[in-house]
């Protein structure tokens, strides 16, 4: 079997390849304004309006479907691992909204020359194995001839109406939990520069392959109504989306955020991915810095995450019990802040 290093094909990989959030906001605004007046969307529970993780559509008096998609260029050398991470990342939106994965379709962009086809086979096997682990089924897909390669899924999930979790239900007085450490974008950039040791490389890969399925189940158990997964816009970008949708302020305690080891040292060394700066530029007008925040840690909060954890807004009476249960599957889960009344700032650090 021919070995092939996928990192030789890309400049930006994973969720670092996303379009900058300010450009995306402008694009979505123009699309929203073109929807005809009177267009029936009464069964659409979650759509464009709150920049949530996925669309949610009511199908009967008890259930709704969750529909999402995600794909990106390679972020690691090994094709099978890339397939696993891309699939895990795509399914995360379903879990962030409290659902279970039912079906997935492969989205494949791969060249018909220059890369051996056994590489594509390995990518697809990695994706399929993760969907099976999630309890879902890959039922087909679509391929186009393209370079560099890209892979992901379109995912269909199911959720009880009573269990729907959105980014627009954070309440004043809630406590914020984060289930995975921050730093995947920085670590992956350091990998390409041969600056990351094998232990932290493994930690990063394992975190990205870890399904948010158990977190979704626990959120339902504790009747959580507000959460979002942390991906390409970084912790602060996705926190902002939640705060704005809920019309509250999220006060993030930077010193409570868990980082993948080496993340802060790499930033100090100058290993800062371009997505960090794009996300920072987007957030500057919405961010209130109220404490003496270390520059390196602040930049890490803008780091684009791939297959990141969930930021969960939970009633303070339930937070300790939920925290202890989450730690069994997500050992780095920690309290990272609180939800406050909006007084002019969506995010405080």
Domain of 291: which CATH number? 3.90.650.10
pTM beyond 0.85: the answer is yes
Q: Is 211 within the bounds of a domain?
A: yes
Q: Is 170 within the bounds of a domain?
A: no
Q: How confident is the model at residue 30 (pLDDT cuts 50, 70, 90)?
A: confident
Instruction: Please state, as a whole number, how many other Cβ atoms lie within 10 Å of the Cβ of residue 126.
Output: 23
**Two structure tokens written together for 246:** 């809920």
**pLDDT reading at 81 higher than 90:** yes
Q: Tell me, what's the pLDDT at 32?
A: 67
User: Residues 206, 134: one domain?
Assistant: no
- Domain of 135? 6-163
Q: How confident is the model at residue 48 (pLDDT cuts 50, 70, 90)?
A: confident
Point out the domain boundary residue: 141, 163, 185: 163
Point out the domain boundary residue: 106, 139, 163: 163
Closest CA to 35 of 21, 22, 47: 47
To the nearest 10°, the Cα dihedral for 155, 160, 162, 165? -10
User: Residues 193, 329: one domain?
Assistant: yes
Contact of 17 with 71, CB cutoff 8 Å: no
**pLDDT reading at 293 higher than 80:** yes
Q: Tell me, what's the pLDDT at 73?
A: 93
Q: Is 112 within the bounds of a domain?
A: yes
d(CA 213, CA 306): 16
User: Residues 118, 150: one domain?
Assistant: yes
In percent, the amount of the chain with pLDDT more than 70 equals: 96
User: Residues 221, 294: one domain?
Assistant: yes
Contact of 89 with 220, CB cutoff 8 Å: no
How many domains in the chain?
Answer: 2
Please write the tens of the pLDDT for every residue from 140-195: 999 999 999 999 999 999 999 999 999 999 999 999 999 999 999 999 999 988 99
Taking CB atoms within 8 Å and a gap of at least 24, the contacts of 197-200 are 197/262, 199/261, 200/260, 200/261, 200/262
User: Residues 211, 334: one domain?
Assistant: yes
Is 15 marked active-site? yes
Q: How confident is the model at residue 19 (pLDDT cuts 50, 70, 90)?
A: confident
Instruction: Please state, as a whole number, how many other Cβ atoms lie within 10 Å of the Cβ of residue 122.
Output: 20
Q: How confident is the model at residue 9 (pLDDT cuts 50, 70, 90)?
A: confident
Q: Tell me, what's the pLDDT at 123?
A: 97
- What CATH number does residue 141 fall under? 3.30.1330.10
User: Residues 295, 344: one domain?
Assistant: yes
Strand 347-348 with 248-252, pairing: parallel
Mean pLDDT computed over 261-282: 94
Mean pLDDT computed over 205-224: 98
| Active-site residue identified among 15, 249, 271, 276 | 15
Closest CA to 305 of 100, 92, 99: 92
Mean pLDDT computed over 51-62: 90
User: Residues 317, 203: one domain?
Assistant: yes
Q: What's the order of all strands across the beta sheet hosting 248-252? A: 226-229, 310-314, 175-178, 334-341, 248-252, 347-348, 287-288
Which of 7-11, 161-165, 206-210, 317-321 shows the lowest mean pLDDT across its residues?
7-11
Q: Tell me, what's the pLDDT at 41?
A: 78
Q: How confident is the model at residue 34 (pLDDT cuts 50, 70, 90)?
A: low
User: Residues 196, 331: one domain?
Assistant: yes
What average pLDDT does the structure give for the chain? 93
Closest CA to 337 of 207, 175, 193: 175
Which of 44-58, 81-95, 110-124 shows the lowest mean pLDDT across its residues?
44-58
């Amino acid at each position: 079997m021919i070995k092939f290093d996928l990192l030789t094909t890309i400049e930006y990989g994973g969720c670092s390849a996303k379009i900058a959030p300010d450009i995306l906001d402008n694009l979505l605004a123009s699309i929203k304004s073109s929807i005809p007046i009177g267009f029936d969307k009464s069964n659409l529970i979650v759509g464009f309006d709150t920049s949530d993780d996925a669309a949610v559509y009511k199908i009967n008096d008890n259930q709704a479907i969750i529909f999402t998609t995600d794909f990106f260029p390679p972020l690691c050398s090994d094709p099978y691992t890339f397939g696993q991470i891309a699939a895990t990342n795509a399914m995360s939106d379903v879990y962030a909204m409290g659902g279970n994965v039912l079906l997935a379709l492969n989205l494949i962009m791969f060249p018909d020359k220059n890369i051996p086809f056994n590489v594509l086979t390995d990518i697809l096997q990695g994706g399929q194995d993760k969907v099976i682990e999630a309890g879902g089924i890959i039922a087909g897909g679509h391929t186009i001839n393209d370079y560099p390669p890209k892979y992901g899924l379109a995912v269909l999930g199911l959720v009880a109406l009573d269990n729907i979790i959105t980014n627009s239900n954070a309440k004043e007085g809630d406590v914020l939990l984060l289930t995975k450490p921050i730093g995947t974008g920085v670590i992956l950039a350091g990998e390409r520069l041969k600056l990351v040791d094998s232990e932290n490389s493994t930690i990063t890969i394992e975190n990205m392959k870890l399904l948010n399925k158990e977190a979704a189940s626990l959120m339902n158990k504790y009747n959580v109504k507000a959460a979002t997964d942390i991906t390409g816009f970084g912790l602060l970008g996705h926190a902002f989306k939640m705060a704005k949708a809920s019309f509250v302020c999220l006060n993030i305690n930077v010193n409570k955020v868990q980082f993948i080891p080496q993340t802060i040292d790499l930033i100090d060394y100058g290993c800062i991915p371009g997505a960090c700066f794009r996300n920072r530029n987007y957030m500057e007008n919405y961010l209130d810095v109220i404490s003496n925040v270390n520059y390196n840690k602040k930049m890490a909060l803008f780091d684009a995450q791939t297959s990141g954890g969930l930021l969960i807004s939970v009633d303070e009476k339930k937070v300790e019990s939920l925290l202890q249960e989450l730690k069994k599957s997500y050992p780095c889960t920690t309290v990272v802040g609180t939800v406050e009344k909006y007084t002019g700032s969506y995010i405080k650090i």
